[in-house]
Amino acid sequence: MKKNVILTGFMGSGKSSVGRTLASKLGFKLLDTDQMIEAAEGMTISQIMKKHGEEYFRQKEKELLKQLSDLPERHVISTGGGLPIAPGNAEALKQAGYVVYLRAKPETILKRLSGDTTRPLLMGEDKERRVRELMEYREPIYTRGCHLPIDTDGKSLLELTDDIVKRFNHIR
C-alpha cells in the first residue's frame, strides 16, 4: 500500500475539513477529487451534472482515479462521496493509499447539509429519504472499501485527526 491517506464517506461526513487538518498535521499535500474535476472542467459539480449528466461526472471520477494510482506518496486525498461506489473504484482506492471511511449517521448528515445547495444528488423533494436510501446502499461499499472506518458523530476535528494520525503512523 502506498503512503497516502484517502478519505471516503457520505456527503457532509467531514472529508474536506478532516482532510485539511490531517494534511497539515502530517505535512502532506492535500488533493480533493471534486475540486480537481471542477478545475479540469471549468465548472462546478452542479453545472457539470446539469450540462452532461451524472454518468459523465462518474466517468471523470474514474479517469481521475487512474491518475491517482500514479501519485507519489505523502498526499491526503479527499474524495467525492460517490467515488468509491462504482465497480472497481473502491479496490483502486485501496491500492492508492490508506483508506479512512468517515462514517456519520443520517441525522448528522442532514444537520450538516441543511441549507446546502451544492449537492445536486440531494436537491429533490425529500432530502431525508434520499440521504437514508443512498446511505443504506452505500454503507457496505464504504465499509468493505476501507482500511479504517471511523465514527465521526459527536467527535471534534482534533479528536478525529489525532485518531487517524495515530492509526496511520502505526501501519506505515
Residue 7 in grid coordinates? 478519505
CA dihedral for 47, 53, 59, 62, sign (positive or negative): positive
Please, what is the minimum distance in Å from the beta carbon of residue 121 to ligand S3P?
5
Comparing CB distances to ligand S3P, the nearer of 58 and 167 is 58
How far apart CA 137 and CA 140 sit, in angstroms, is 7
Distance of CA 146 to the CA centre of its chain: 11
Comparing CB distances to ligand S3P, the nearer of 59 and 171 is 59
117 SS3 class = coil
Please, what is the minimum distance in Å from the beta carbon of residue 86 to ligand S3P?
10
Comparing CB distances to ligand S3P, the nearer of 84 and 97 is 84
Please, what is the minimum distance in Å from the beta carbon of residue 64 to ligand S3P?
11
Phi and psi at 126, nearest 5°, equal: -105, 90
126 SS3 class = coil
Comparing CB distances to ligand S3P, the nearer of 82 and 149 is 82
Residue 47 in grid coordinates? 453545472
Comparing CB distances to ligand S3P, the nearer of 3 and 20 is 20
Residue ranges that bind ligand S3P, judged by CB under 6 A = 11, 15, 34, 45, 80-82, 119-121
Please, what is the minimum distance in Å from the beta carbon of residue 19 to ligand S3P?
10
143 SS3 class = helix
Phi and psi at 6, nearest 5°, equal: -120, 125
Please, what is the minimum distance in Å from the beta carbon of residue 170 to ligand S3P?
27
